[in-house]
Structure 1
């Protein structure tokens, strides 16, 4: 029972700049859950399926790309981007 993202709402690759975007704000829960899953040693397949709602069997390459790029963005947000959120600055 996880919070799932509708397929049309999830980009294959999240924003890549050094500015927190509306997309980031809409997907903050998924970012935090990806960080938790990685910290707990969950497989990327499990995280992609449960957190991102992806079919890792039908689209393994896409699922891996989406998972990895969103986890990378989550790590950036937790190490740097949070400062913008705390200051109320977003793009």
Structure 2
């Protein structure tokens, strides 16, 4: 069963079940950043949150997932390729 998308990503210094369930979202966020997408575009297209209806939630969720994506890129990836 797929875990619900949270507004605040659960934080840990290791990969979590949430990370594993939402890895595709992190990849899509990386691609969106490379394409210079704005937070509103990422919220709607990737997270399924309407920034017009829920601007605070959209911004919070995008920033939280981007922060986790950055962690994954900078150090978390090491857990994907042990040894």
TM-score by length of 2: 0.91
Extract structure 1 runs of 4+ deviating beyond 3 A: none
1:14 aligns to what SS in structure 2?
coil
Find 1:19's aligned residue among 14, 20, 37.
14
Secondary structure of the corresponding residue to residue 11 of structure 1: coil
Gaps of 5+ in 1: 1-5
Distance 1:18 1:65 in 2: 20
Q: How many residues align?
A: 82
Structure of greater relative contact order (alpha carbons < 8 Å, 6+ residues apart): 1
Root-mean-square deviation (CA, aligned residues, Å) is 1.7
In the alignment, which residue of structure 2 is the partner of 1:74?
69
- The unaligned stretches of length 5 or more in structure 2 are none
Shift of 1:39: 1.6
